[in-house]
Chains A and B, each alone.
Chain A
Amino acid sequence: MLAGFFLKLKEHKIPVSINEYLILIEGMKKHVISPSIEDFYFFSRTALVKDEANFDRFDLAFGEFFKGVESIVGEAFDVPLEWLRKQAELTLTEEERAKIEALGGWDKLMEELKKRLEEQKGRHQGGSRWIGTAGTSPFGAYGYNPEGVRIGQKESRQRRAVKVWDAREYRNLDGATELGTRNIKVALRRLRRFAREGAPDELDLDNTIDRTARNAGWLDLQMRPERHNAVKVLLFLDIGGSMDDHVKLAEELFTAAKSEFKHLEYFYFHNCLYDYVWKDNRRRHTERIRTWDILHKYGHDYKLVFVGDATMSPYEILQPGGSIEYNNDETGVVWIRRMLEVYRKAAWLNPEPQELWAYRQSISIIRGLMSDRMYPTTIEGLENAMRALVK
């Protein structure tokens, strides 16, 4: 039974491993939990799901797998009438529906059901006499209980548990993205290049031994600066317009890059690079930075990374005055070439799917400008881009 549950989780793309499954079984053997489905829900979630983003998927899988199993466990839960009604409407045939209509419609039927429920509770206190077994109750005859769903007494403690996974309270946290920040960071690490800079505060053991030996055994401590990631990156992010679809991805990429590189300078542009860029998107019209200043300020050892979909009208790249924001004297081509002349290590990351690149003229133009150094924002693309940057 548990193996089926395990496979169900796999089916729902929840990352679970055999190891965790064995822990789950070990826990069951050691009676970590009381034999109730609610406790099992919480325990299996604790043991198998390691990210709150997957809680919602787990709730779904759990609900799906344990639908109808409650009777085996020996307890049942209260079914919300709304839900029952929906289920019934889904499974009834036309003919049956007509029959229900003849009995006075759904509302009346539900009322009758409620009455019956209360009656039964009065007669068997705390008991578990079910309504809806075929043939004994008028309700069962219509078969609106197709998957063995039971209706139980109100006091059932299981009610809470059912609510827990049926409520699906973690829905908002499910953020399945192709490119989590961890993956991005791991890819960005390829770009690391360690160098020793700054204050000497680490003991250089080899050098100390060497110097001490030369000093006839008299201790001569040698210190050296700690290793830091010395790679320098200029990041240009396309923002607004067609990039709106990729905001989340760009944000993730930016967050990852910011924590990974000490020397990271970032600037925003819109569609194509011209004379001005900006650092704060809210004040883009007042606080602009001249692109010339960037070229003069940052040395050629900086690595250049563009993030943009390169999707625009070809005029915006090829014509003077082609910018959709203001009248630019020089074309985007000129500016991009200028950048590439100073910063020879460069890459363009494009969040658009690679299959589409060939069909967009502007993408082909930019790709040509970058001499093919355009990469999709997948893990593989990112790794290739980083490899190209260190080459």
Chain B
Amino acid sequence: MRFNGSETYVATDDLNLAVNASITLTRPLLIKGEPGTGKTKLAEEVARALGMPLYEWHIKSTTKAQQGLYEYDAVSRLRDSQLGDPKVQDISNYIVRGTLWQAFTADQPVVLLIDEIDKADIEFPNDLLRELDRMEFYVYETKELVRARHRPVVFITSNNEKELPDAFLRRCFFHYIRFPDKETMEKIVAVHFPDIKKTLLREALEAFFEVREVPGLKKKPSTSELLDWLKLLLAEDISPEALRSSDRRTIIPPLHGALLKNEQDVHLFERLVFMSRQAR
């Protein structure tokens, strides 16, 4: 069981190594990186490449650790007891299994994705220490110990909105997805748009990396934005010449709205272009 990227996902050597290490040693892999560098996508691709089912747990600010394990539906049970339903005798009828439970009890090894763990309450990771370390937890209502039949391959993504506690980090492997360099970027684009014209790609990539270098941008455009932009360029059938000019700084790339998602960034960019035009 080794992961080496896939037809639709270009993984660098160090990322492959981190993924394979975490698979072999069955440790959760914590992935950080700029938004849009394919953190969530990685879990999907690994699951597909290794032919394992994927269980996703998307974290919100209101998510509690317990919800990933199970929830006890006391209200239904109370209601049923009023109606004299025989189901009521067995408490396990009212235990709703969470994503973690499902992943632990699956018949085959699975990939478990805990997405955007930094969105939750600051104590959230601490509540999952034992679950992720020993891959087991205790159900108090039924006095039952749920233990993973096969330790799942766990991916955890974070956008760095909150710092994670040390005790949690100790139990994970860590990989920081760097923003791809031009070479890797070309590979990534080739995977998504196999028949894009070479000239268009070259011009677009140059324009893209120049936009990224504009100082003071609030949100630099990332891989996913580049892919969106290329899709638009192709759909609108924009010629490579439109992206080219003798002095590149004096043109605003067409459809730049796909690259810059922030009003202030667009203003900043237009102002810079305007200034350099005047300077000529």
State whether these chains interact. yes
Q: What is the interface of chain A, defined by CB distance below 8 A to chain B?
A: 15, 17, 19-20, 23, 26-27, 30, 32-33, 39, 42-43, 46-47, 49-52, 55, 169-170, 180-182, 185-186, 189, 203, 205, 208, 212, 218-219, 221, 259
- B230 is an interface residue with CB less than 8 A from chain A: no
User: Measured between C-beta atoms, what is the minimum distance from B78 to chain A in Å?
Assistant: 5
A218 to B18, CA, bound (A): 58
Given known A-B contacts A20-B170, A50-B169, A26 and B176 have beta carbons under 8 A apart: no
A-contacting 9-mer, from B21-29, B87-95, B232-240: B21-29
Are the CB atoms of A42 and B13 closer together than 8 Å? yes
Q: Which residues of A lie under 8 Å from residue B164 when comparing CB positions?
A: 50, 182
Cβ contacts A to B, 15 pairs, < 8 Å: A20-B170, A23-B27, A27-B25, A32-B24, A33-B17, A43-B21, A46-B174, A47-B21, A50-B164, A50-B172, A170-B176, A185-B122, A203-B74, A219-B81, A221-B75
- B58 is an interface residue with CB less than 8 A from chain A: no
Q: Which residues of A lie under 8 Å from residue B27 when comparing CB positions?
A: 23
Are the CB atoms of A46 and B175 closer together than 8 Å? yes
Q: Which residues of B lie under 8 Å from residue A47 when comparing CB positions?
A: 21, 173
- Total B residues in contact with A, Cβ cutoff 8 Å: 33
Least CB separation from B83: chain A residue: A219
A186 to B164, CA, bound (A): 12
Q: Which residues of B lie under 8 Å from residue A17 when comparing CB positions?
A: 170
Least CB separation from B82: chain A residue: A219
Q: Which residues of B lie under 8 Å from residue A208 when comparing CB positions?
A: 78
Q: Which residues of B lie under 8 Å from residue A185 when comparing CB positions?
A: 122, 162
List 17 additional contacts besides A46-B173, A181-B162; criterion CB under 8 Å: A19-B170, A20-B170, A23-B25, A23-B27, A30-B25, A32-B17, A32-B24, A46-B21, A47-B173, A49-B174, A50-B164, A169-B178, A180-B163, A182-B122, A185-B162, A203-B74, A208-B78
Q: Which residues of A lie under 8 Å from residue B13 when comparing CB positions?
A: 42
Are the CB atoms of B174 and A182 closer together than 8 Å? no
Are the CB atoms of A39 and B17 closer together than 8 Å? yes
Q: Which residues of A lie under 8 Å from residue B173 when comparing CB positions?
A: 46-47
Are the CB atoms of B20 and A32 closer together than 8 Å? yes
Contact with A along B134-169 (1 / 0, CB 8 A): 000000000000000000000000000011111001
A272 to B31, CA, bound (A): 45
Q: Which residues of B lie under 8 Å from residue A182 when comparing CB positions?
A: 122, 162-165
Partner among A30, A42, A180, A186 whose Cβ is within 8 Å of the Cβ of B17? A42
- B14 is an interface residue with CB less than 8 A from chain A: yes
Partner among B14, B24, B74, B170 whose Cβ is within 8 Å of the Cβ of A50? B170
Q: Which of B18, B164, B173 has the most CB of A within 10 A?
A: B173
A165 to B107, CA, bound (A): 42
A189 to B162, CA, bound (A): 14
- B79 is an interface residue with CB less than 8 A from chain A: yes
A17 to B20, CA, bound (A): 22
Are the CB atoms of A219 and B169 closer together than 8 Å? no
Q: Which residues of A lie under 8 Å from residue B32 when comparing CB positions?
A: 52
- B30 is an interface residue with CB less than 8 A from chain A: yes
Q: Which residues of B lie under 8 Å from residue A30 when comparing CB positions?
A: 24-25
Least CB separation from B30: chain A residue: A50
User: Measured between C-beta atoms, what is the minimum distance from B167 to chain A in Å?
Assistant: 10
Q: Which residues of B lie under 8 Å from residue A169 when comparing CB positions?
A: 178
Q: Which residues of B lie under 8 Å from residue A55 when comparing CB positions?
A: 176
A26 to B21, CA, bound (A): 11
Partner among B30, B74, B170 whose Cβ is within 8 Å of the Cβ of A205? B74
Least CB separation from A170: chain B residue: B176
Partner among B25, B175, B178 whose Cβ is within 8 Å of the Cβ of A26? B25
Q: Which residues of A lie under 8 Å from residue B79 when comparing CB positions?
A: 219
Given known A-B contacts A23-B27, A46-B175, A47-B173, A33 and B162 have beta carbons under 8 A apart: no
A368 to B236, CA, bound (A): 69
